[in-house]
Structure 1
Amino acid sequence: MSPVDDDLVIGLPEMRLRPFVDRYIGYRERADVPLVRREPAGVFVVLILGWGAPLDVVDPRSAERGIERVDSFVAGTFDGWCTTRTVGVGEGVELLLTPLTARRVLGLPLAEVANRAVGLGQLPGGWLDRLRHRLADAACWPQRFALLDTALADRLVGAPTVDARLDWAWRRLVASGGRDGIGALATELGWSRRHLAARFREEVGLAPKTAARLLRFQQAHAALRGVSATTGLRPAGAVRAVDWAEVAVRCGYYDQSHLIRDFHQFAGTTPAALLAARSTA
């Protein structure tokens, strides 16, 4: 038996939910010794609905941003890396939500959970905690995914929509991979740059400039996993063959130094070190 055994099940939401949730990740993980993972920053919201061994979330910048001994939590949009630690058998479902979807699902502005891991008991309504118990009691993963479909659809139907102008600005930023200028977006909206920044901080949890940096970082980080076919990366293991300057340009960076700076801030290490670790895993 290996120190860590993983069992992952991917579920696809029903069609009407796919504009909001791309997939459900069911997991059952046994760690015989303490398992510590470094989690990169991201302009998305992590929702864990679990019922197994508890874990700790630690942000090295501040103990108050983390949480201890929980099996379920929400981690808001975050602009720095953190670590998770667990031991035992953990089981649950993970969802990655875009900020404006999370704003509707959670029923609160993301400024309230940005750069924080928050237990379900701190969220309004208590519906997520009730859903967690129903998921734990379900007999199989298809039943759990069906419960998620129903709960999320009901939640989204009853939730107020977000400001269409903010939604447009977010979609433009995503479509450009974080390359669109913030000033140009504000001008097209007829807003001041300061007003756009204030709306982003309140509803997305981060300033638009930071969100743009994270979108570029996420593209580069995904490239290391072979997700993007346009980055010029060679197969894992050929670490020295990677043209990091080319990767930087294709992911929207000015140069290689900016790429490395963002990896230090958002992943806590360099892209070369991450790729080397994966090639020897």
Structure 2
Amino acid sequence: MFYREYPPHPALAAYVECVWAARAPGSAHTHRVLPDNCVDILWQDGGQPGYAVGMMSAAILVASERPVLTLAVRFKPGMAGLFLATPLHAITDQRADIDLLWGRSDADRLADALWTSNAPERARLALIERELMRRLRAQVPGADAPLVRQALVALDRSGGALRVEELAAQLHVSRQHLAAQFRQHVGLSPKLYARICRFRRATATLRTDTTSSLDWAQLAADCGYFDQSHLIHDFQEFSSSTPEQFHFSNRAAA
């Protein structure tokens, strides 16, 4: 499967992680997508409407039975709501057609521009960026929720190790207020977001480690887990596998 990421237009760098393109093979194919604390909008050839994929709390299996070209944008945590005009908890673990979020006229106009062109994929991704910049200019000041932005920075810097109670105290808000803001602007609770941060640290380590054995207790400690059992629990919940199975499958694929 072909997959390539591109840095976003500088005007979108504060909001967008990347724009990307992928091409699924012609044969029947299934791949597993793990929670990554991001929201994406995808457009695929073949006449299907574009759709947003909300924050994920578990892995999903994506199947395709024909060659599919996907053009997409991945938002930084907490930023997708600026472009989707919906509370992000409404699309957590779901997909929503973009014509329902943007209106059919805007959605159809972009889809026509994407799929009636023979331009290279990067030029077509630029059409998506242009639409995002247009929508960003229409935003009212203060729509980016500075409290949530500060909380995300703190959680990301800690790798998910910062406790929610401590985070709320640092921001001088109640835990309940912080959770409500996260639900609207991120789509997950702060605790679940932090757990996925720790899980992503662990999977990143396992993807780059080629040794046949690991000190699992040390890995758990390095990634901010209380102990090895919490590491195992999160792998089972977020990837439907144990850390050992995940490590073996990635070594086998390398």
**In the alignment, residue 36 of structure 1 is paired with which amino acid?**
T
SS of residue in 1 equivalent to 2:29 = strand
**What is the CA distance between 1:190 and its match in structure 2?**
2.4
Indicate how the Cα distance of structure 1 residues 278 and 136 shifts in structure 2: closer, same or farther if over 3 A, else same: same
Indicate how the Cα distance of structure 1 residues 142 and 46 shifts in structure 2: closer, same or farther if over 3 A, else same: closer
Instruction: Establish whether residue 136 from structure 1 lines up as the match of residue 115 from structure 2.
Output: yes
Structure 2: how far apart are the matches of 1:247 and 1:129?
48
Structure 2: how far apart are the matches of 1:153 and 1:85?
32
Instruction: Establish whether residue 274 from structure 1 lines up as the match of residue 249 from structure 2.
Output: no
Alpha-carbon deviations, 1:99-123, whole Å to 9, x = none?
A: 3211111111101101212222332
Instruction: Establish whether residue 125 from structure 1 lines up as the match of residue 135 from structure 2.
Output: no
Greater alpha carbon shift after TM alignment, 128-137 vs 212-221: 128-137
Indicate how the Cα distance of structure 1 residues 10 and 204 shifts in structure 2: closer, same or farther if over 3 A, else same: closer
Q: Which has the higher strand share?
A: 1
Q: TM-score, normalization: structure 1?
A: 0.81
**What is the CA distance between 1:16 and its match in structure 2?**
2.5
Tell me which of 42, 45, 48 is aligned to 1:51.
45
Correspondence list, 1:1-281, <5 A: 6-32=1-27, 34-52=28-46, 72-126=50-104, 127-138=106-117, 139-160=119-140, 161-226=143-208, 234-235=209-210, 238-240=211-213, 242-281=214-253
**What is the CA distance between 1:171 and its match in structure 2?**
1.6
- CA contact under 8 A between 1:107 and 1:159: conserved in structure 2? no
Structure 1: how far apart are the matches of 2:18 and 2:128?
11
Alpha-carbon deviations, 1:95-151, whole Å to 9, x = none?
A: 322232111111111011012122223323343453233222232123113212322
What's the % identity of the aligned pairs? 30
Structure 2: how far apart are the matches of 1:218 and 1:26?
22
* Long gaps (5+) in structure 1: 1-5, 54-69, 227-233
Structure 2: how far apart are the matches of 1:9 and 1:44?
17
Give the aligned length.
249
- CA contact under 8 A between 2:50 and 2:99: conserved in structure 1? no
Alpha-carbon deviations, 1:5-61, whole Å to 9, x = none?
A: x333432222222222232221222231x21222222321122111149xxxxxxxx
Indicate how the Cα distance of structure 1 residues 71 and 251 shifts in structure 2: closer, same or farther if over 3 A, else same: farther
Indicate how the Cα distance of structure 1 residues 142 and 200 shifts in structure 2: closer, same or farther if over 3 A, else same: closer
Q: TM-score, normalization: structure 2?
A: 0.89
* Long gaps (5+) in structure 2: none
